Structure 1
Amino acid sequence: MIESIQYVLYAGLLISCVFSVFFSIKSRRSIDGKIRGLSAAKMNISMGFMLIILALIQMFIFSGSSIRVVIGAIFMVLGAFNIFAGIRNHGLWSRYNAESNQS
């Protein structure tokens, strides 16, 4: 059971890391500001998931020392903030794109 949870967490970590790198490259290479903003928002969301998965790995897979739990809690808070900021920015850039397409 623990082994299957490890595989799921590591697969989620790998997937979120790949998405984070993909959207980071897409954001940095884009000339259009709208695409850059949307890609940066998606990068924040995927980095947030990556940090939360890292926190879960730290807290549940390895031995439960207090330092690991504190670092895992810090990663979880940072991940939640990244997800929140990414969703907020994605909404703002999506509305901006919708308004500029209507004009």
Structure 2
Amino acid sequence: MVNALQWFFSILVVVTVLFSALYSIRSRRARDGRLRGLYASRMNISMGLMLIFIAIIQMFMFPGSSIRVAVGAVFLLLGLFNLFAGLRNHSHFTRLMRQ
């Protein structure tokens, strides 16, 4: 069961890395500032989810040590911040695109 969860979260990390790279490339190549911001916010959401999944793997899938839990907690906090900032910016740029 634990092995299946490790594979599941590993696949989720790889998928979110691919989405982060895709939106990063799109953001850098976009000419319109609104599209650039929209793609950057999607990249932040993907990176936030990736960091959260890495934190889950670190904290719950391996035997705990204090360093592993501390690194997992830092990744979790960074991931939550990126996710929050990405969602906030996505709603802002979505409203700008509608105008």
Give the letter aligned to residue 43 of structure 1. M
Give the letter aligned to residue 96 of structure 2. Y
Look at both structures and tell me which one has the larger radius of gyration over its CA atoms.
1
Q: Alpha-carbon deviations, 1:11-62, whole Å to 9, x = none?
A: 0000000000000000011111111010000000000000001101111222
Q: How many residue pairs are counted as aligned between the two chains?
A: 99
Whether 1:56 and 2:59 are equivalent positions in the alignment is no
User: Distance between the aligned counterparts of 1:4 and 1:54, measured in 2?
Assistant: 15
Q: Which runs of 5+ in 2 are unaligned?
A: none
User: Distance between the aligned counterparts of 1:58 and 1:79, measured in 2?
Assistant: 13
Q: Tell me the secondary structure at the aligned position of residue 68 of structure 1.
A: helix
Q: Which runs of 5+ in 1 are unaligned?
A: none
* Residue identity (%): 51
Q: CA deviation at 1:63?
A: 2.2
Normalising by the residue count of structure 2, what TM-score does the alignment of the two structures yield?
0.97
Normalising by the residue count of structure 1, what TM-score does the alignment of the two structures yield?
0.93
User: Distance between the aligned counterparts of 1:59 and 1:67, measured in 2?
Assistant: 10
Counterpart for residue 2 of structure 2: 2
Q: Alpha-carbon deviations, 1:69-102, whole Å to 9, x = none?
A: 0110010011001000000000000111112xxx
Which aligned pairs between 1:31-50 and structure 2 lie closer than 5 A? 31-50=31-50
Q: Tell me the secondary structure at the aligned position of residue 64 of structure 2.
A: coil
Let me know the Cα RMSD of the aligned residues: 0.7
